[in-house]
Structure 1
Amino acid sequence: MANKNRFGNMYLVIVFLVLYAPILYLMYYSFNSGGTMHKFEGFTLQYYKEVFADTRLIIIVINTLVIALLSSALATIIGIMGALAIHQMQNRRVKNTLLSLNNVLIVNPDVIIGASFLILFTMAGIKLGFYSVLLSHIAFSVPIAVIMILPRLQEMSPSLVDAARDLGASRLDVLTKVILPFIKPGIYAGFFMALTYSLDDFAVTFFVTGSGYSTLSVEIYSRARQGVSLSINALSTLIFLFTVLLVVGYYFIMRKANRNGKKEPAAEMGVPR
């Protein structure tokens, strides 16, 4: 047993080294005064100063954050409604079909999704830019939100809803004071997963981004094609640190939500345990 645990720990260490070694290498050379990624000649913050002095890049960062936050919020709201509709569906065959269609959108290659949206927006006469990127990000984030929220709904005991209705609660009260508080961890998970996918997406955004509008992933790709620049390293380092902060924030929010979730939502309405 001890040998198995030791082998498992070694395997995990190797996996994390393979995953994080390139990131650490990139971060290390973002401070290199030599201007290359071959030999570290000295410590400098020059490339970070270049990032913060680049007005165009700051605008692109703002664009990316606005798209990510707005699309994640709207996708989570739509995902809540979709998860509730699927959960309450009585016909098992139709329910499984909808779940399968939802899962297909998650595993479908981003290139196919991006090309499909490009054709759709072109046929509909929608100009490529902010709205095309926003709509496409909402579309591929909704299935993620649904798949995060639905398990929480399935864990909820039907007796909570029945007890609330027996006490005279309206449908709105049941939704806002029983269901939503119970599935709050799933809502947070759906929002943060959608936010991460939106910040990370390149393939879909590359297809639907018009001239004069860009996001960080597309901008980094464009700059990387022009040649190696350590300002890309500095920018990537900042994005990585921001992602780490998101993960840490998500951990504490989920921890608080799970702690509060131990109290049954129906109890807030005076339903006896």
Structure 2
Amino acid sequence: MMKKWKWSNIYLILVFVILYAPIFYLMYYSFNSGGSMREFEGFTLQWYKEVFQDTRLLIIVLNTLIIALLSSVISTILGIIGALAIIYVKRRRVQNTLLTLNNVLIVSPDVIIGASFLILFTIVGIKLGFTSVLLAHIAFSVPIVVIMILPKLQEMSPTLIDAARDLGASRFQVLSKVILPFISPGIFAGFFLALTYSLDDFAVTFFVTGNGFSTLSVEIYSLARRGVSLTINALSTLIFLFTVLLVVGYYFVSQRNLRTKGGGVEK
């Protein structure tokens, strides 16, 4: 058991080193006073200053955050409706069909989804830019939210709803006072997952973005194609730290929900 435990831990450490070593390497050289990633010449915040002094880049950051927040909120609302629709469908065949259609968007390659949206927006006449990117992000985020909410709905006992109805609760009260509070961990998980997916999506966004509008992932790609610049390192470091903050925030929210429920059970 001791040998197995040691080897499993070594394997886990190796996996994390492989995953995080390139990120920390990138972060390390974002403080390099030299203009390359070959040799660390000295500590500097020059590249971070350049990021914050670039007005165009700050506008792109704002665009990315607005798209991510809007798409996450809208996709969470649609995801709740979709999950409720799937779970309360009476026919099993119809329910399985809806689940399959929902899962297809998750497993489909991003290139195919992006190209499909590009063709659709071109046919419909939607101008490529803010609206097209927002619609595309909502579309690929909704299935993620549905998947996160469905397990919580399946865990919920039907007797809770029956008890609320017996006490005279209306349909809206059952939804707002019973169902939504119970599935709130799934809602938060779906929202944060949709937010992170939207923030770092490149493939779909690359297809549906237009002239005069860009997001951080597309901008970093275009900067990288021009040549190695430590501004990219600084920008990538800031994005990584922001993502870490989101994950930590979600962790504390989920822990708070667990403590609240635990306290309620104890009472």
What is the TM-score when the length of structure 1 is the normalising length?
A: 0.96
Code of the aligned partner of 1:80: I
Q: What is the DSSP-based 3-state SS (H/G/I as helix, E as strand, rest coil) of the residue aligned with 1:39?
A: coil
Spell out the pairing of 1:148-187 with structure 2 (5 A cutoff): 148-187=148-187
Alpha-carbon distance in structure 2 between the residues aligned to 1:228 and 1:95: 50
- In the alignment, what sits opposite 2:200? 200
Code of the aligned partner of 1:89: V
Q: What is the DSSP-based 3-state SS (H/G/I as helix, E as strand, rest coil) of the residue aligned with 2:127?
A: coil
| Unaligned 5+ runs, structure 1 | 268-273
CA contact (8 A) 1:117 1:136 kept: yes
Code of the aligned partner of 1:230: L
| Unaligned 5+ runs, structure 2 | none
- In the alignment, what sits opposite 2:109? 109
**Root-mean-square deviation (CA), in Å?**
1.2
Alpha-carbon distance in structure 2 between the residues aligned to 1:57 and 1:26: 19
- CA deviation digits over 1:123-162, x for unaligned, max 9? 0010000000000000000000000001000000111000
Spell out the pairing of 1:224-239 with structure 2 (5 A cutoff): 224-239=224-239
Alpha-carbon distance in structure 1 between the residues aligned to 2:115 and 2:201: 14
- In the alignment, what sits opposite 1:120? 120
- CA deviation digits over 1:231-266, x for unaligned, max 9? 00000000000011000000000111122234679x
CA contact (8 A) 1:182 1:261 kept: no
Code of the aligned partner of 1:71: S
- In the alignment, what sits opposite 1:64? 64
- In the alignment, what sits opposite 1:221? 221
Question: Does 1:41 pair with 2:44?
Answer: no
Alpha-carbon distance in structure 2 between the residues aligned to 1:13 and 1:105: 33
Alpha-carbon distance in structure 1 between the residues aligned to 2:36 and 2:167: 70
- In the alignment, what sits opposite 2:209? 209
- In the alignment, what sits opposite 2:53? 53
Alpha-carbon distance in structure 1 between the residues aligned to 2:65 and 2:41: 35
CA contact (8 A) 1:144 1:190 kept: yes
Spell out the pairing of 1:224-263 with structure 2 (5 A cutoff): 224-262=224-262
- In the alignment, what sits opposite 1:25? 25
CA contact (8 A) 1:73 1:191 kept: yes
CA contact (8 A) 1:129 1:211 kept: yes
Alpha-carbon distance in structure 1 between the residues aligned to 2:69 and 2:262: 29
Alpha-carbon distance in structure 2 between the residues aligned to 1:236 and 1:116: 29
CA contact (8 A) 1:48 1:234 kept: yes
What is the TM-score when the length of structure 2 is the normalising length?
A: 0.98
